[in-house]
A and B are shown apart, each in its own frame.
Chain A
């Protein structure tokens, strides 16, 4: 059967609607921050002085002149342990009040906005994207929301950035070139490389298809463009969030979330608490666990060769993929750890077994200069 025939059959099946949603109890006996985070930083500074010194030596030691853009260039680190900040530091002129870029950490925010849409009955992950982008040709209807979440749309995408040819970069074309006025349409009209759901390849494009679907789902549910604030940021007490959009008003769900590090920590803490906050469950039951399990497409065939690239649904994982002979990528870090990660060293790392959230913002421009696993291990020592 040809790729075209397979995709057309899958498109017809994908148009059949399904439903999903559930509610369950939230973690008991935990606290949530009010307008400000509780802090045990002073106490921990005394108790863990050596561990903090080791972390700072690794994360905050600069190399060369600023314009050389070499080495590790950390802008902030915030560590939340058992519901309280135990460490925070800002560097390179950044302050606690300044929202920081997040780059691909934004993808994990889109995952959560999708999850809330599922919880509210606006969206199912088995929806065809044609339900939300009806202008697309029939063969695109084989792509489901699930495929966008799992980077398995099969669209022929080139995830390269500033260090590769500008002409070949799908990302640069989407953000700053011909795709900038309507990112989702630009992405969804790329040719197919494979049938949807059969291969994994990390794609900022897929995240923007997801973003369009999510936005249209909220709109169909009667919600205006402020839905991220109404449904996520305000309930969590996140006051610094910016989500930039293209000319159609669609959030650039791949890249353009901004928030202060302490607000990023709220997002991480929300995930640590399984998508619950003070007033109850916000994400569907099992949404976080499903999103942080190795996704099925990556088990079948992954086209990214990077050994560090173990993905759930818009989250980076520390899980092995036996089918691909991939071991846990973050040496010394518990296997239940997962992270929202972005270009130039941004990360929100969640380690449920340690009751721990670690935020790092940065401007690492030198490829390979920063060792993520080493950083997380050192931060874990501060929380030991």
Chain B
């Protein structure tokens, strides 16, 4: 038997599923699972990595180069490990790792 709080959660979940299903109807813009902050951190990590390790530009240049809208990400370059972490709003993050000069950088999964 459902408690009032679990019932509310069930109703909320069903509503989200319904909204999601409506949003993915044919004819609508393709409903990519792009969360803005996920895109933002992936973009920042990958492009910062390529900027520093492939193009060999300095960090201040690369921070300006990878600035995006909204500009709320934090980027950390690890020169020893040759990777870049990008974070936004605590919960979102991405890492791009430099593979080699030929293969450049790659986002980690």
Interface set of A (CB-CB < 8 Å, partner B): 66-67, 93, 97-101, 156, 158, 162, 165-170, 172-173, 175-178, 180-181, 190-191, 226, 229, 241-247, 256, 258, 363
Do B54 and A242 touch across chains, with their CB atoms under 8 A apart? yes
CB contacts under 8 Å to A, within B77-109, are 101-107, 109
Knowing that A176-B34, A176-B46, A258-B54 touch, tell me 18 more A-B residue pairs with CB under 8 angstroms.
A67-B64, A93-B61, A98-B56, A99-B56, A101-B50, A158-B30, A162-B69, A166-B36, A168-B29, A169-B32, A176-B42, A176-B43, A177-B32, A244-B54, A244-B106, A246-B106, A247-B109, A258-B50
A175 proximity list for chain B (CB < 8 A): 43, 46
A156 proximity list for chain B (CB < 8 A): 30
A170 proximity list for chain B (CB < 8 A): 30, 32
Instruction: Classify the interface of chain A: helix, strand, loop or mixed.
Output: loop
A178 to B65, CA, bound (A): 24
Do B104 and A242 touch across chains, with their CB atoms under 8 A apart? yes
Interface set of B (CB-CB < 8 Å, partner A): 26, 29-34, 36, 38-39, 42-43, 46, 50, 54-57, 61, 64-65, 67-69, 101-107, 109
B61 proximity list for chain A (CB < 8 A): 93
Do A178 and B32 touch across chains, with their CB atoms under 8 A apart? yes
A176 to B57, CA, bound (A): 22
A190 proximity list for chain B (CB < 8 A): 30
Q: Given A98-B56, A173-B32, are A256 and B104 neighbors across the interface (CB < 8 Å)? A: yes
A243 proximity list for chain B (CB < 8 A): 102-104
A100 to B65, CA, bound (A): 12
Task: Determine how close the nearest CB of chain A comes to the CB of B82; give it in whole angstroms.
Answer: 14
Do B30 and A168 touch across chains, with their CB atoms under 8 A apart? yes
Q: Given A180-B42, A180-B107, A242-B101, are A100 and B55 neighbors across the interface (CB < 8 Å)? A: yes
Q: Given A158-B29, A158-B30, A180-B42, are A244 and B36 neighbors across the interface (CB < 8 Å)? A: no
Q: Given A98-B56, A241-B102, A244-B104, are A177 and B33 neighbors across the interface (CB < 8 Å)? A: yes
Do A242 and B34 touch across chains, with their CB atoms under 8 A apart? no
The interface centre, meaning the residue of B64, B105, B107 with most chain A CB atoms within 10 A of its CB, is: B107
Do B65 and A93 touch across chains, with their CB atoms under 8 A apart? no
B56 proximity list for chain A (CB < 8 A): 97-99
A100 proximity list for chain B (CB < 8 A): 55
B50 proximity list for chain A (CB < 8 A): 101, 242, 244, 256, 258
A46 to B105, CA, bound (A): 42
Do B33 and A101 touch across chains, with their CB atoms under 8 A apart? no
B103 proximity list for chain A (CB < 8 A): 242-245
Chain B: CB-nearest residue to A181:
B109
Query: Which of B30, B32, B57 is in CB contact (< 8 Å) with A98?
Result: B57
Query: Which of A93, A169, A363 is in CB contact (< 8 Å) with B34?
Result: A169
A318 to B69, CA, bound (A): 34
Chain B: CB-nearest residue to A257:
B104
B33 proximity list for chain A (CB < 8 A): 173, 177-178
A241 to B33, CA, bound (A): 32
A241 to B104, CA, bound (A): 9
B31 proximity list for chain A (CB < 8 A): 167
Do A172 and B106 touch across chains, with their CB atoms under 8 A apart? no
